[in-house]
Structure 1
Amino acid sequence: MRSKIELQDAIHRARRAVLIVNTHSRRGRRLYEVVRGRLAAEGFHLLGCFPVENTERLPGQLAAAIALDPDLLVAGGGDGTVSEAARHLAHRDIALGVLPLGTTNNFARALAVPHRPAGALGVLTGGKVADVDLGQAGETIFANHANVGLSAQVGEAVPARLKRHIGKSAYPLTAVARLLRHRPFRARITAGGDEYEVVTHQLNIVNGRFQAGRPITSDATVDDRVLHVFPVGGPRRRQLLSASLRQAFAGQRQPTAPPFLATDDLTVETDPPLPLDVDGEVHGRTPIRVRLLPNALRVMVAPSFVDN
């Protein structure tokens, strides 16, 4: 593994990169050619370009892109695309460049990557390499979150048309609609030798500061070496209904305590066993161990990004 400075110098000097864009994402299809042209104009030697319309092909296309041995892999799409790229690049000597083309763009927000393509491309051309954390739930690596409860249903049910029209507010609004049929569950969390118990509709385990496009706490970062754990709402539907409406219309999120934990290793058990939403896809069921992978991913960030 090269040092961060060595990899950064290689990116700026040789500009050996691959581009992979989810052209099925909200803006991917429209911006793919624009991004490819801009990278070429900035002097990047594109070893391969991979527009991905069918997301089931994304893992194979990422493997093909990595096999070209680039210094930089530019991933354009939403959180699902970026998370899949992060899984493939974990512990590799390749930097991830993020082009946020999705709805919530949690990981891009955590990296302070500008939402507009021009600003994000500026990070690729003039930024630096930083090391950031990832999480792992069971055998699945994640960039943003591992959640138990309502979100596993919401991620599958949120209408694509609603996402296109109103963006990230589509998620809490869909949660409100699904809530009438959702039952609360009991979760037992073990961390650092302590046990916590909560009855809730939703338990979130978040890497970084953002969930569903909103900040969850003021002092979390994507390289602070901890995962943040909190329930949303309580055993009563009206508590989660209130939290979801605040998030949808006012952009406010108020974590519920207890518990509100910052830890690098925990086990979650639920009654009954429930599926796990890992960055928008269902991977495994409770009980499950979730742990932090510190400094697991190299990313391109703006020079002003504070690299811990």
Structure 2
Amino acid sequence: MRNKADHTAAIRGERRAAVVVNTKSRRGRRSYAEVLRLMRAHDFRLTGVHPVTEPARLREVVSRALADGPDLLVVGGGDGTLSSSVKYVAGLDVALGVLPLGTTNNFARSLGLPLDLAGAIGVFREGKVADIDLGMCGDRPFANLASFGVSVEVAGTVRPWVKRLLGRAAYPLTAITVLPGHRPFRAYITVDGRRHELLTHQLNIANGRFHGGWQIARDVSIDNRQLVAYQLGSGKRLRLLGETLVRATTGRWRSLAGGPFVTGQEMVLETDPPLAADIDGEVRLRTPLVLKTIPNGVRVMVPQSFVDR
């Protein structure tokens, strides 16, 4: 694999890029033609152009795009599309270029990317290659977040038209409707030999800096070799309701030093009762689980201001 400086020089000099856009995402279909226009306006040589009309075929499409040997794989879509794409480029000598075309765009926000098309594509031309951490939940890689509790029900309940209408507020507002029928659970998190116990309706374990479009805490990073576990509210519904409303209306953020956070490079999670895990939008595994970070697990294109550790 090339070093980051050589890889950056190749992208900015040769400009060999493949483009994959999920045209089923919130903005993907209407933005597709503009993505291609802007890429060509920035003099990128497109090795392939791949619209994704069936998200279940994303892996096949990404594999086809990578077969042409681009230095940069540009992927446009929501967090689910981008997180899945991360899995397919992890450890490869190709940089992921992120086009934020979803509702909350947590991954793009964690990288400090502009959320408009022109700004994001400008980063491909003027930015740099960085290696960021990749999370692992059991045998499933994740870019941003593994969550447990009421959010799993929310993910299966929130309607596409609500996301289109309300944007990132759709998730906390849907949670308010789900919460009255949800029962709290007990979670046990073991980090470095220390066991933490809590009673809650919602537990999140984050690799990235953002959740629901809002920053988790000011000192969280997607490149610090640490996972961050935190609960929303507690076992009391009213407290979680209040926390959800504050987050939905203000996007309040706080420091890790001042909140109920557990950090570590590896965590063992047990819950009573066993719970399903929502891993970057995909509900696949159940507790107990081991979660950990893979330092510098995936290569991405980021702004020059991004702090690459």
TM range (shorter): over 0.9
The corresponding residue for 2:124 is 124
Counterpart CA distance in 1 for 2:70 and 2:151 is 35
Deviation at 1:262, TM superposition (A): 1.3
The corresponding residue for 2:51 is 51
Counterpart CA distance in 2 for 1:66 and 1:109 is 25
Question: How big is each residue's C-alpha offset from its partner over 1:243-293, in whole Å with a ceiling of 9 and x where there is no partner?
Answer: 111111222256998851111100111111110000011121000000001
**Aligned residue runs from structure 1 range 1-308, under 5 A:** 1-252=1-252, 259-308=260-309
Counterpart CA distance in 2 for 1:184 and 1:280 is 21
For the residue of structure 2 that corresponds to 1:180, the secondary structure is: helix
Deviation at 1:160, TM superposition (A): 0.8
User: Match for 1:7: what amino acid?
Assistant: H
Deviation at 1:41, TM superposition (A): 2.3
Q: Gaps spanning 5+ residues in structure 2: where?
A: none
User: Match for 2:129: what amino acid?
Assistant: V
Q: Which runs of 4+ in 1 moved over 4 A?
A: 253-259
Question: How big is each residue's C-alpha offset from its partner over 1:214-238, in whole Å with a ceiling of 9 and x where there is no partner?
Answer: 1111111111110111111111111
Counterpart CA distance in 1 for 2:248 and 2:269 is 28
User: Match for 1:148: what amino acid?
Assistant: F
Contact 2:219–2:255 (8 Å) recurs in 1 = no
Contact 2:218–2:254 (8 Å) recurs in 1 = no
Normalised by the length of structure 1, the TM-score is 0.97
For the residue of structure 2 that corresponds to 1:69, the secondary structure is: coil
Contact 2:218–2:253 (8 Å) recurs in 1 = no
User: Percent of counterpart pairs with the same letter?
Assistant: 49
Counterpart CA distance in 2 for 1:12 and 1:32 is 22
User: Match for 1:290: what amino acid?
Assistant: L
For the residue of structure 1 that corresponds to 2:188, the secondary structure is: strand
Counterpart CA distance in 2 for 1:164 and 1:73 is 27
What do you get for the CA RMSD once the two structures are aligned?
1.4
Counterpart CA distance in 2 for 1:275 and 1:266 is 17
User: Match for 1:33: what amino acid?
Assistant: A
Range moving further from structure 2, 65-74 or 250-259: 250-259
Counterpart CA distance in 1 for 2:31 and 2:144 is 24
Q: Gaps spanning 5+ residues in structure 1: where?
A: none
Contact 2:129–2:301 (8 Å) recurs in 1 = yes
Contact 1:231–1:255 (8 Å) recurs in 2 = no
Question: How big is each residue's C-alpha offset from its partner over 1:43-69, in whole Å with a ceiling of 9 and x where there is no partner?
Answer: 211111111122111121112112222
Counterpart CA distance in 1 for 2:37 and 2:13 is 19
Alignment size in residue pairs: 308
Counterpart CA distance in 1 for 2:131 and 2:295 is 9
User: Match for 2:112: what amino acid?
Assistant: A
Counterpart CA distance in 1 for 2:189 and 2:254 is 20
Contact 2:12–2:124 (8 Å) recurs in 1 = no
Cα distance change on mapping 1:255 and 1:211 into 2, 3 Å: farther
For the residue of structure 2 that corresponds to 1:223, the secondary structure is: coil
Contact 1:83–1:144 (8 Å) recurs in 2 = yes
Counterpart CA distance in 2 for 1:260 and 1:247 is 17
Question: How big is each residue's C-alpha offset from its partner over 1:152-208, in whole Å with a ceiling of 9 and x where there is no partner?
Answer: 111111111111111100000011100011110011111100101101001100012
Counterpart CA distance in 2 for 1:80 and 1:155 is 12
User: Match for 1:270: what amino acid?
Assistant: T
Question: How big is each residue's C-alpha offset from its partner over 1:79-136, in whole Å with a ceiling of 9 and x where there is no partner?
Answer: 0111011111111110000010101101100111001111001101111111111100
Contact 1:87–1:141 (8 Å) recurs in 2 = yes
Counterpart CA distance in 2 for 1:26 and 1:44 is 25
Counterpart CA distance in 1 for 2:291 and 2:66 is 27
Counterpart CA distance in 2 for 1:223 and 1:82 is 17
Counterpart CA distance in 2 for 1:280 and 1:269 is 20
